Amino acid sequence: MNLLYKRFGNRVREKRVMIDMSQETLAEKCDVSTSYIGLVERGERKPSLEIVLRIANALSVTPNSLTMDSIKHKATNNKDKLVLMINDFDDTQINTTFEIVNQIHSYIKKDTKKAACDDIDELLSD
């Protein structure tokens, strides 16, 4: 089977284990058999788009996070790099990252305003 499907299956297993969910529970939530989930996790079955969406939904992740390590993305700028970094974070990690970035943003805005005021003061004093 294609390496893409093995990687996808590994990501499904990692996410499932991370939230302490059994294959049986995942199968029930996706309305498929437990053996089918096992085949997907081993990369031995190619799930349809509908099944990929069901799996992602059952695991509370984006479909993208299940395929991210399989798809080669080239980050062309820092904004793209940030998106790629946080793409497979869970909700807690995203919230923590948001709080940190929000604090940095506030600091930079305040610092930029102060620098602008300093520049104006310098111009007026000349």
Q: Is the pTM of this model over 0.85?
A: no
* Helix (H), strand (E) at residue 50: helix 49-59
Assign 73 a pLDDT band (cuts: 50, 70, 90). low
Residue 72, exposed/middle/buried by CB under 10 A (0-12, 13-18, 19+)? exposed
Give the torsion through C-alpha atoms of 60, 11, 37, 23, to 10 deg: -60
CA 126 from chain centre, in angstroms, equals 52
Architecture of the CATH domain 3-67: Orthogonal Bundle (1.10)
- The per-residue pLDDT for 107 is 79
pLDDT of 53 > 90? The answer is yes
User: Is there a contact between 41 and 10 (Cβ–Cβ < 8 Å)?
Assistant: yes
Residue 10 in tokens: 């590994």
Going from N- to C-terminal start, the domains of the chain cover 3-67, 89-125
Assign 126 a pLDDT band (cuts: 50, 70, 90). low
CB 12: neighbour CB atoms within 10 A? 24
